[in-house]
Amino acid sequence: MSNTYTQINIHCIFAVKYRKAQITKEWKERLHQYITGIVQHHKHKMIAINTMPDHLHLFVGLRVAQSLSDMMQIVKGDFLRMDK
């Protein structure tokens, strides 16, 4: 159908392993940039990102060609590789 528009905005929250307070102010901004880069690389739109010491909030405009679970697997997978 022509002129069809789909917009899906999702608020995702995920925690640091064991809810340890590991997100420090020293590297919080770099973490935001890194996760935003992952989201944008997969052609989603990062609307907002915020972190607390033990969890993250992402507000993302989701591209309909990729499922939410696939996107979160990629974000969390790359995030975990960064941690090592």
Structure tokens at 83: 């941690």
Q: Is residue 2 situated within a structural domain?
A: no
- What range defines the domain where residue 26 resides? 8-83
Q: Could you give the strand order of the β-sheet that contains 55-62, starting from the edge strand earlier in sequence?
A: 8-15, 55-62, 45-52
34-84 residue pLDDT tens: 999 999 999 999 999 999 999 999 999 998 889 999 999 998 886 555 544
Q: Is residue 3 situated within a structural domain?
A: no
Please name which of 38, 39, 84, 30 lies closest in space to residue 61, comparing C-alpha atoms: 39
Distance CA 72, CA 60 (A): 11
**What domain count does the chain have?**
1
Read off the CATH number of the domain in which 25 is found: 3.30.70.1290
pLDDT value of position 79: 56
Q: Is residue 17 situated within a structural domain?
A: yes
pTM of the model: 0.82
Distance CA 29, CA 50 (A): 10
pLDDT value of position 84: 46
Q: Is residue 57 situated within a structural domain?
A: yes
Phi-psi region for residue 45, left (φ > 0), alpha (ψ -120 to 50) or beta? beta
Q: Between residues 6 and 59, which one has the greater pLDDT?
A: 59
Q: How confident is the model at residue 32 (pLDDT cuts 50, 70, 90)?
A: very high
Q: Is residue 20 situated within a structural domain?
A: yes
